[in-house]
Structure 1
Amino acid sequence: MDKELRLTLLLLLLLCHKGNTESQYSCPYRCQCFTPVQVLCADERMTSLPSNMSKQVKDFIIMTSAVAYLFPHTLEESPQLNKLIFLNNALRSIHAQAFEPLTELQELEISGNPWLEHLFVGTFSKQGNLTKLLLNYNRFETVLHGMFDSLKNLQTLQMKGNILSNLPTFLFLNLHNLRILDLSQNKLEEVKRETFSGLVRLEILKINNNLISNISSNTFDNISQLIELNLEGNKISELADNIFSVLTKLRVLNLRGNLLTTFSDKVFGFEASNLKELNLKGNRLTQLSSLSSLTSLTDLILSSNELTNLPEDIFTNVTALENLDLSENQLTSLPEMIFIDLLGIRAIHLQKNNLSKLDAKLFEDQMLIQQLYLSDNQLESLPLGLLDPFVLQSTVRLHGNPWKCDCHLWYLHDWVLKNSQDVEMLDRMLCESPGFLRKRTVISIDKDQLVCQVSKDEMSDLSSCSLQVSSDTMTIKCKVDKCSPLTVKVQFQEDDGSVEEHILKSELAEHFQCNNETTIESPIE
């Protein structure tokens, strides 16, 4: 059962327990009255609706019953009803005149009936006051032309979770006040421009989880007032240029879980400045061009695609961006200036990529960031100063990387110790190398253990040191200038693991009052 449906059932059952005992004495048999105007009948043994209901009742709810048929006379004694809900029943057929007496009805739901396959034209002919009609999770294969012609005040129409494969053209022609239309979780293969004729006030359209593979460039011409469009879970593989150009008021666009391999801002034409949220998660995107026309965009989700790189100008002019999700792609690196001018960004998710190196100035403009996820990449160290621009307390994830715990990790080690309260899952932030520190948590290591083995090619800073061995003596000769800060540590490790350390430091620097305070430590074992 759909989560939304289960929550509705639970809510209604909870409400019934709040009723007082006195009101229940006048309730129809097998029903409960928790206010004078509300009746709930939820009994699996009930095969027909009660006939002795008070004329005060405005809201009538029938749940989990065995009621299978609604006849012309079934509801004739309750013309005063404002709300009628059939939820999770055994309905098989509804007579075209079953609702005819209910001229005051404003909300009608017929949902969760697995044997209800169709409705007759004229079923809603007297419901001119209806504002909400929910027909979810039934077994409707088709909806007949003219079914909704009388519902001129309807504002919400839901038909999700059926098995609709097509819709008649001009089906919604008279629904001039409709604001929300939900056709999700059906088997629709296409939507035509004529399908939406008449929906001049439509603001939210959901046609997610169908079988739609392509959308023509004029599909949305008749619903230019749309604010939210959900196309999630279809089979859309490409979008024509200017396909959304007429939707100048669109704020939310959900294209998650389709088959797109590329995406261009040209699909919006030149009028995309109102779009706030764009969800492209779970497609097959391999490349993206600039999204510079999306100047009002605050939330961009590009996770679970196949992106290996991004152009440096992709976010140019997208300066309102607050949340960016690039996780679960195949990114190996990021351009140095890719986030430039994104001054208000709050969250950047880069986890589960193949990033092995980041530029020191990558987050230079992201002072207000609150979430930075770099976990599960291929990072061995972070460059000096990478995380310094952040001025607010931030949540950072760094685990799942093969950290190389040597002298190149000094910056990250110091930053983690200083900001440990900001780093999530510190117990999973482990050293991958060198071998004697493998699987140790970074935070548990002393800085003195973060050492680098210096090769001869890397000894330019030591001003030509040499190593000589004779008999049982090892001699290190370092030619240094008078202001050299060089310190040499010699460590002798015994068989029991204990270490004896001797330190030699040039006294020339102090004698000549040199200003360079940097000390180079060169451990030798």
Structure 2
Amino acid sequence: MEMLQKLLLIVAIVTQMSTWLVYTCPTNCNCAQYRTVTCSQVSSLKNIGPDIPKDTNKFEVREGQFYNLQESDFADMPASSFLQLKLTNGQLTDIQQYTFKAMTRLQILDLSNNALQQISSPDLFKPLSYLQLVDLSGNRLNDLPSGLFASQSNLQELRIAGNTNIRNLRGPSFQGVTSLVKLLASGCSISTLENDLFSAISSIRTLDLSYNQIKSLPNTDSFRLLQKLQNLTLQGNQISALNDGQFAGMDLDTLDLSKNLIATISPNAFMYLSGVGNLDLSGNRIHSLPAYVFQPISSKVYNLKLNNNHVLINLPPEIFNGMHKMNTLNLSSCAIKLLSEEHFQQVPSLRQIDLSNNWLKYLPQSFFDKAMYMQHVKLANNPWNCDCLIKPLHNWLQNPQSSNIIYCTEVPEMGFRGNCQSPKCSSPQNLVNRDISRLLPNDIEDCIKTGTSSSAPVGIIVGVLAGLVVVVIIILIVACYLYRRHKRGDPLICYEPAKDEEVEKKKKKKHRELKAVQGVRKLSREPKGGRGDRDYYREKKENRKIDAESSSLNESDKSFVVRNFFHSMMPDPDGHSEGTHSQSMARKDSIDSLSQSGYGYNSRPGSRHSSQYSLNAGYKIESAV
């Protein structure tokens, strides 16, 4: 019995081997194991059909030289057993309606990199209800017919990248793709995303629209329909701004907005975005970032790229607040001039950082406190200023471990450092091109107390500006207070009514004195004619001259002159000369004469005649003598 079983087994093996031996393989094809047939440069599928093994389930033709496909091309093939059909890099331009009628088990259809200009029948894929992947990329399609994938409820991935004639994506083209998780549409000419598109592909998780002509993102309500979206790639478009709540309702792992024209980012651009781990804003025109723009997503970011924003000069100190999971940070090829202590206090998990090709002169101590725990640090091509503030970098380079951390080129997969040079001084002049790691203690100046960190100049500037603001506010308050008092008619603070009343009294007194002088002049006139008349006119002429001179004196000056004049008229007891005695006597007589008329020097206080008029009277008496 055992011998019989062994004999039957040998017969079965021989029969199977004979079956393999009779299998034939078409010319220019490779019929490998696992029921896979791969052909190249085939001019006609009909000619190789009879030689295709009957149990083939993977059939591939590369660089085919046929232009059309129709049902008869697969008539002699085991098409019903095909699970994968790949016709790539050929010259295919058209596919007839029932070409795939017999391929009911097909799961993968790859027609990439041909010359297809259109799909004429919307029922082309109708028999292929088990399709999971369709690749139409690299063709010349200008549209996808409505209902083309209506029967593809199992379709998970659709590739249409590289069809440069596709201008927009419409919802009806994706009807029925309820299981679609990946749509790759990069490198087309898409400028418009119709509002009904997102409801049709609501199950999608990866959406690649890179290198198209999209200028603005859809409104929040449209994006909100993509509740399952995890990876959104918009690289290489023409987006210029990110508006408030642009990605509200999403929970992304990757958001790639690199190589656009973004210059403005709203402070609330990422508001209501549940999170994003890998955020790429590189290659844009960002010149500044709002201080808390990343706050809504900070707890989930692990990779942040801001490199190649060539006009990005400064980063707010709070920009990385809350990014406790951030592992990789790329700030290379910007124009960053300053990084402060605060920038690196909120990133405990940072392991890779690229600061190359910036305008950094210093780095704070907090950076090097983290650097010892990093894997890759890139600092090349920065204009380091080797004064006292370079000490943290100098000390870090002295540590032997830093040589295993610092890199100057892209880190290869094998982890080799490449040929890196130590950072060099760009200033001052006496240290140009010196290795910072080799600087001596005498080469580095001591920091003064006014600033021992790179953030000190910023603090001084902020303090000065704050002081100016306070002064301006005080001036405005005072001005408003004075204006309101003036408008109510209240006297100003410096106004003293008593002094103003005194000035007014002096004016009235002066006016009375002028009238009194005029009366004195009338009393002192002599009758007309003779010598007295001539003396009167001579005296009047002189008085006009004296009055003009005396009018320029103030009240105190006039009083002083009057007193001195009358004192000079008194007799000099020590005078011995006759001339002097005569002159003194004459002056005395004049004083007596003046006293009799009520205008004398010894007039009682409170008399209605002031010193002004005494002065004028004195001048008259002297002139008469």
Q: What range is the shorter-chain TM-score in?
A: 0.7 to 0.9
Residue 322 in 1 paired to residue 302 in 2?
yes
CA contact (8 A) 1:343 1:367 kept: yes
Q: 2:379 aligns to what?
A: 398
The residue correspondences of 1:201-220 to structure 2 (distance < 5 A) are: 201-220=179-198
CA distance in 1, matches of 2:450, 2:223: 60
Which residue among 145, 164, 170 is the counterpart of 2:141? Answer: 164
Deviation (angstroms), 1:34: 6.8
| Corresponding position: 1:183 with 2:138 | no
Write the letter of the residue equivalent to 2:236. G
User: Please, which of 86, 90, 99 is the counterpart of residue 123 of structure 1?
Assistant: 99
| C-alpha displacement of 1:332 | 0.7
* 1:96 matches 2:71: yes
1:98-113 maps to which residues of 2 (within 5 A)?
A: 98-100=73-75, 102-113=79-90
Q: Give 1:25 deviation, angstroms.
A: 9.6
User: Contact 1:143–1:167 at 8 Å: present in 2 too?
Assistant: yes
Report what 1:299 is aligned to.
278
What is the Cα deviation at residue 265 of structure 1? Answer: 6.2
Residue 241 of structure 2 is aligned to residue 262 of structure 1: yes
Question: Quick check: 1:207–1:232 contact (8 Å CA) kept in 2?
Answer: yes
Q: Would you say the 8 A contact 2:352–2:376 is kept in 1?
A: yes
Of 77-86 and 158-167, the range deviating more from structure 2 = 77-86
The SS at the match of 1:71 is: helix
Q: Is the 8 Å Cα contact of residues 24 and 53 (structure 2) preserved in structure 1?
A: no
Change (3 A) 1:130 1:26: closer
1:247 aligns with 2:205: no
> Please, which moves more after superposition, 178-187 or 162-171?
162-171
Deviation at 1:294, TM superposition (A): 3.1
Aligned pair in 2 of structure 1 residues 26, 99: CA closer, same or farther (>3 Å)?
A: closer
Provide the secondary structure at the position in 1 that maps to 2:395. helix
Does the CA-based 8 Å contact 2:29-2:39 persist in structure 1? no
Could you tell me which residue of structure 2 aligns to residue 310 of structure 1?
289
User: Secondary structure at the residue paired with 2:245?
Assistant: helix
Please say if 1:351 is aligned against 2:332. Answer: yes
Q: Give the match for residue 199 of structure 2.
A: 221
Change (3 A) 1:75 1:175: farther
- Give, in whole Å, the separation in 1 of the partners of 2:138 and 2:354: 36
The equivalent of 1:450 in structure 2 is 444
* Residue identity in the other structure for 2:278: D
Q: Which amino acid in the other structure matches residue 334 of structure 1? A: L
One-letter amino acid matched to 1:107: Q
The residue aligned with 1:383 is 364
Contact 2:24 2:51 (8 Å CA) reproduced: no
SS at match of 1:410: helix
SS in 2 for 1:396: strand
Conserved in 1, the CA contact under 8 Å of 2:258 and 2:280?
A: yes
Distance in structure 1 (CA, Å) of the matches to 2:50 and 2:134 = 23
Deviation by residue 1:257-298 (Cα, 9 ceiling, x = unmatched) = 1111112463433x212x100111111110223324333311
Q: Higher strand fraction: Structure 1 or Structure 2?
A: 1
C-alpha separation between the residues in 1 aligned to 2:300 and 2:449?
48
1:420 alignment partner in structure 2: 403
| C-alpha distance in structure 2 between counterparts of 1:82 and 1:234, whole Å | 37
CA distance in 1, matches of 2:324, 2:83: 48
Greater mean alpha carbon deviation, residues 73-82 or residues 340-349 = 73-82
Q: Which moved more, 1:256-265 or 1:243-252?
A: 256-265
Kindly provide the amino acid, as one letter, of the partner of residue 407 in structure 2: E
Describe the superposition over 1:7-55 as per-residue Cα deviations: whole angstroms up to 9, x where unpaired.
xxxxxxxxxxxxxxxx8996536467675x45xxxxxxxxxxxxxxxxx
Q: Deviations over 1:109-152 (max 9, x none)?
A: 01010x22111111111211110000000000111221111111
The 2-side partners of 1:389 and 1:74 are apart by 66
Amino acid at match of 1:260: I
CA separation of 1:98 and 1:31: change in aligned 2, threshold 3 A: closer
| Alignment pair present for 1:71 and 2:46 | yes
Partner of 2:480: none
1:191 maps to a residue whose letter is L
Mapped partners of 2:126, 2:26: distance in 1:
37
Identify if the C-alpha distance between structure 1 residues 459 and 320 changes in structure 2 by more than 3 Å, giving closer, same or farther.
closer
**Matches of 1:162 and 1:365 in 2, distance apart?**
48
CA positional deviation for 1:193: 1.0
2: CA distance, partners of 1:395 / 1:460: 34
In structure 2, do the counterparts of structure 1 residues 29 and 199 end up closer, same or farther at CA, with 3 Å as the change threshold? closer
**DSSP-derived class of the 1:362 partner:** helix
Contact 2:379–2:406, Cα closer than 8 Å, also in 1 = yes
Distance in 2 between the 1:203 and 1:460 partners?
Answer: 59
Of stretches 441-450 and 383-392 in structure 1, the one that deviates more from structure 2 is 383-392
Q: Which amino acid aligns with 1:420?
A: S
What letter matches 1:229 in structure 2? L
Tell me if the contact between 2:30 and 2:37 (Cα under 8 Å) persists in the aligned partners: no
Native 8 Å contact 1:69 1:91 kept in 2: yes
The structure 1 residue matched to 2:113, chosen from 137, 154, 164, is 137
TM-score (norm 2): 0.62
Q: Give me the whole-angstrom Cα distance separating, in 2, the residues matched to 1:99 and 1:34.
A: 17
Closer, same or farther: CA 205–75 of 1 in aligned 2, 3 Å = farther
Q: 2-side partners of 1:421 and 1:73: how far apart?
A: 59
CA contact (8 A) 2:236 2:258 kept: yes
Q: CA deviation at 1:87?
A: 1.3
- Higher mean C-alpha displacement, 221-230 vs 74-83: 74-83
Q: Which runs of 5+ in 2 are unaligned?
A: 1-19, 409-419, 452-625
Q: CA deviation at 1:356?
A: 0.6
Give the secondary-structure state (helix, strand or coil) at the position aligned to 2:81.
coil
Note the C-alpha offset of 1:241.
1.4
Partners of 2:244 and 2:49 lie apart in 1 by 55
- Alpha-carbon distance in structure 2 between the residues aligned to 1:388 and 1:256: 35
Pair 147,25 (structure 1): closer, same or farther in 2 beyond 3 Å = closer
Query: Which has the larger displacement, 158-167 or 416-425?
Result: 416-425
**RMSD between aligned alpha carbons?**
2.5
Bigger Rg, which one? 2
Structure 1 pair 133–314 and aligned structure 2 pair: CA distance change class (3 A): same
TM-score where L is the length of structure 1: 0.73
User: Aligned-pair distance for 1:72?
Assistant: 9.2
Deviation at 1:384, TM superposition (A): 3.5
The 3-state SS of whatever aligns with 1:388 is: helix
Question: In structure 2, how many angstroms separate the alpha carbons of the residues matched to 1:206 and 1:298?
Answer: 21
Counterpart-to-counterpart distance in 1, 2:333 and 2:373? 25
Q: Work out the CA distance in 1 between the residues paired with 2:379 and 2:48.
A: 67
Q: Distance in 2 between matches of 1:219 and 1:146?
A: 20
The one-letter amino acid of 1:207's match is: A
CA contact (8 A) 2:26 2:52 kept: no
Q: Tell me by how many angstroms 1:97 deviates.
A: 2.4
Per the TM alignment, residue 240 of structure 1 is displaced from its structure 2 partner at its CA by 2.1
Does the CA contact (< 8 Å) of 1:70 and 1:93 recur in 2?
Answer: no
SS in 1 for 2:60: strand
- 1:200 paired residue number: 178
Distance 1:450 1:77 in 2: 80
Q: Distance in 1 between matches of 2:179 and 2:449?
A: 73
8 Å contact 2:94–2:117 — kept in the other structure?
yes
Superposed displacement of residue 451, structure 1: 2.6
